[in-house]
Amino acid sequence: MTGYIFSAVLLLAPPLQAVFDLPLQLAFQQAVLLGCLAWLVLRVRAGGLPGGLGDRRFYPLWAAAGLTLLALLASPFRGYVFQEWGNYAAGLLIFVFSSFLDERERGLVLRSVLLCAWLIFGVSLVQAFAFKNFASHPPLTNLNALALFAVMLVPLALEGRRWALAGAMIVLIVWTQSLGAALAGLAAAGAYAASRMKSGELRGSGWLLAVLAAVAGLSLWLLQSDSVAGRLAWWRSALEMFLARPLTGFGAASFPWAQAGFQAGGAPVEHSIYAHNYYLEFLAENGLFAAAAWFLLLFTAARRVTGLARFSVIAALAHSLVDFGLSVPANFWLFCFLLASPAAPASDVEVKRPAFRSALLFACLLEAALLSLCWRGVAFERAKRQALAAFAAGDPAKSELALRPELGNKLLRLPALEFLGRLNLTARDGGARAAVYFETALLENRYSALSWRALARIYSASGRPELAAGLERRRQEVFK
């Protein structure tokens, strides 16, 4: 069962990533979750839980799952990102349950991944030559994310002697002109050459590693000369975010909401929704202990991967030093599947019927709570559209009325306040109503870069320099 579900997710998620709206995102998350729960129920009914689920190698995963969830609950931006943690959790489930796929099921998922690669290549051709929008709207939303997908597919294609597919993926890598992908490919090729030399198959080929090192150095130099300023700004923002909340971080996917406040003067000169370094971004968003557990899992699991898929994993880990490909859900889910290796054989653990019923009831209640959160998120999006329509019709009071349920909800109060503030920035009252919304938002979350920036604009334009100066003093107390 999980083999078919993972096949569908990994086949459909990459081509749909460019239109990955909230309902579609929630549908993928629910498909993975419900599929894994159904698999567990069937296994228990058939004889018991797989003993491998309690394997020590999964300990860091359970720790990372719990700690990242705590980081989300403590996040000042949780109203914005509470749905995003589900993408990470879905990847963890794919990793765990892929370890229990038999050879036939894993082969089915791999065939779906390879079919997806051809689909992505075909879509790229259509966009480039028919719609002529490949550079602006590529598959997987961004050229760098597309390049990472292609890099991870090259070793899989070579392992199956699918030369045409390998060539197509290399064409995509060259086409995207992603130096991050070039570095990832070089890291994978270097690791492959080193493994062959270690086994004696490439004796006397040390020159190959020297050439790869030289090319990698040249690529790094080109990368720095081209975009070092932007990356250094994003990396510095991520580091300062981590130093501000080293234990809990700001919550999964919170970087785009927080990072502008940690730039010099609070001005988003180099704004990005990703830190362009997966490790720094994860550290800033989830805190030290969650990052330690997750990185331990990544690097210990990578050592257990066999075949050429191991070099797909190495490429992804190298790419993550200078780019954000693993922050894209479709890429992350594929990576988690490739990272998984078969669980060690272990006897099933018998589950007593009362315990099974209690666990099943708890799972149903948890799923009901998750569905309630999903519905709340979708309803909020609908309420924002209604508020926007009311404001455009010249009725700001009605726009606030449309969001009144969210304003009374602790989870969604901050995004509702800031949405109303943005609407009222264009009002004829000089931004007075908008300032009320944004000042209230700062009481909810003192790290809100959006509110600080909007208030600075309002107070500067109001002809009241004392308000602007006071705001800056308050801001400096938060972003030291």
Q: Pick from 241, 316, 313, 309: which is nearest to 280 by CA?
A: 241
Alpha-carbon distances of 160 from 3, 163, 249, rounded to whole Å:
19, 8, 42
Residues 334 and 377 in one domain: no
Nearest one of 147, 135, 128, 209 to 14, comparing CA atoms: 147
CATH of the domain at 432: 1.25.40
Total count of domains within the chain: 2
Please answer whether residues 293 and 340 qualify as being in contact, where contact means their C-beta atoms are separated by less than 8 angstroms: no
**Residues 378 and 464 occupy one common structural domain:** yes
CB-based contact 279:102 (threshold 8 Å): no
DSSP character string of 213-240? HHHHHHHHHHHHHHHHHHHHHHHHHHHH
Question: Measured between alpha carbons, how far is 146 from 184 in angstroms, rounded to an integer?
Answer: 13
Is 317 a domain residue?
yes
On whether residue 345 sits in a domain, the answer given is: no
Per-position pLDDT tens, the chain of length 480:
788 999 999 999 999 988 888 899 999 999 999 999 998 888 888 777 777 788 888 999 999 999 999 999 999 999 999 999 999 999 999 999 999 998 899 999 999 999 999 999 999 999 888 888 887 888 888 888 999 999 999 999 988 899 999 889 988 888 887 878 888 888 888 888 777 766 665 554 555 455 555 545 555 555 544 467 778 888 989 999 999 999 999 999 999 999 888 875 544 456 788 888 999 999 999 999 999 999 999 999 999 998 889 999 999 999 999 888 899 999 999 999 999 988 777 667 777 778 777 888 888 888 898 899 899 999 999 999 999 999 999 888 899 999 999 999 999 999 999 999 999 988 777 788 899 999 999 999 999 999 999 999 999 887 778 888 999 899 988 887
What pLDDT score was predicted for residue 210?
58
Among 274, 308, 339, give the residue marking a domain's end. 339
Pick from 311, 339, 367: which residue ends a domain? 339
Instruction: Reduce the DSSP state of residue 47 to 3 states and report it.
Output: coil
Does residue 75 sit in the same domain as residue 180? yes
Whether residues 398 and 316 fall in one domain: no
Give the type of residue at 84: E
Could you tell me which of 452, 442, 433 has the C-alpha nearest to residue 460?
Answer: 452
Q: Which two tokens stand for residue 464?
A: 């009241």
Q: Which amino acid is at 202?
A: L
3-class SS at 18? helix
Q: Are 151 and 188 in contact (CB under 8 A)?
A: yes
The last residue of one of the domains, among 339, 373, 399, is: 339
Q: How far apart are CA 287 and CA 63, in angstroms?
A: 13
Name the DSSP class of 48: -
Task: Evaluate whether 1 touches 125 at the Cβ level (below 8 Å).
Answer: no
Residue 448 lies in a domain: yes
Is residue 249 within 8 A of residue 211, CB to CB? The reply is no
As a whole number of angstroms, the distance between CA 373 and CA 32 comes to 17
Q: Which residue range is the domain that position 369 belongs to?
A: 357-478
Q: Are residues 294 and 365 in the same domain?
A: no
319/389 same-domain check = no
In this structure, is residue 398 part of a structural domain?
Answer: yes
Same domain, 453 and 326: no
Beta bridge mates, 49: 349
Please check whether residue 32 is in contact with residue 4, taking contact to mean a CB–CB distance below 8 angstroms: no
Token pair recorded at residue 216? 């990698």
Sign of CA dihedral 421, 422, 425, 427: negative
Looking at the domain assignment, is residue 467 inside a domain? yes
Residue 352 belongs to a domain? no
Whether residue 371 contacts residue 379, with contact meaning beta carbons closer than 8 Å, is answered with no
Nearby residues of 357 by Cβ (< 8 Å), 6 or more positions away: none
Which residues, listed in sequence order, are joined to residue 349 by a DSSP beta bridge? 49
Residue 116 lies in a domain: yes
Residues 462 and 320 in one domain: no
Q: 284 and 135 in one domain?
A: yes
Per the CB < 8 A criterion, the answer to whether 6 and 116 are in contact is no
d(CA 341, CA 95) in angstroms, rounded, equals 9
Does residue 344 belong to any structural domain of this protein?
A: no
pLDDT at position 183 is: 82
| 74 shares its domain with 139 | yes
Residues 184 and 217 in one domain: yes
- For the chain, give the longest Cα–Cα distance: 77
Q: Are 319 and 421 within one domain?
A: no
Give the C-alpha separation, 213 to 217, whole Å. Answer: 6
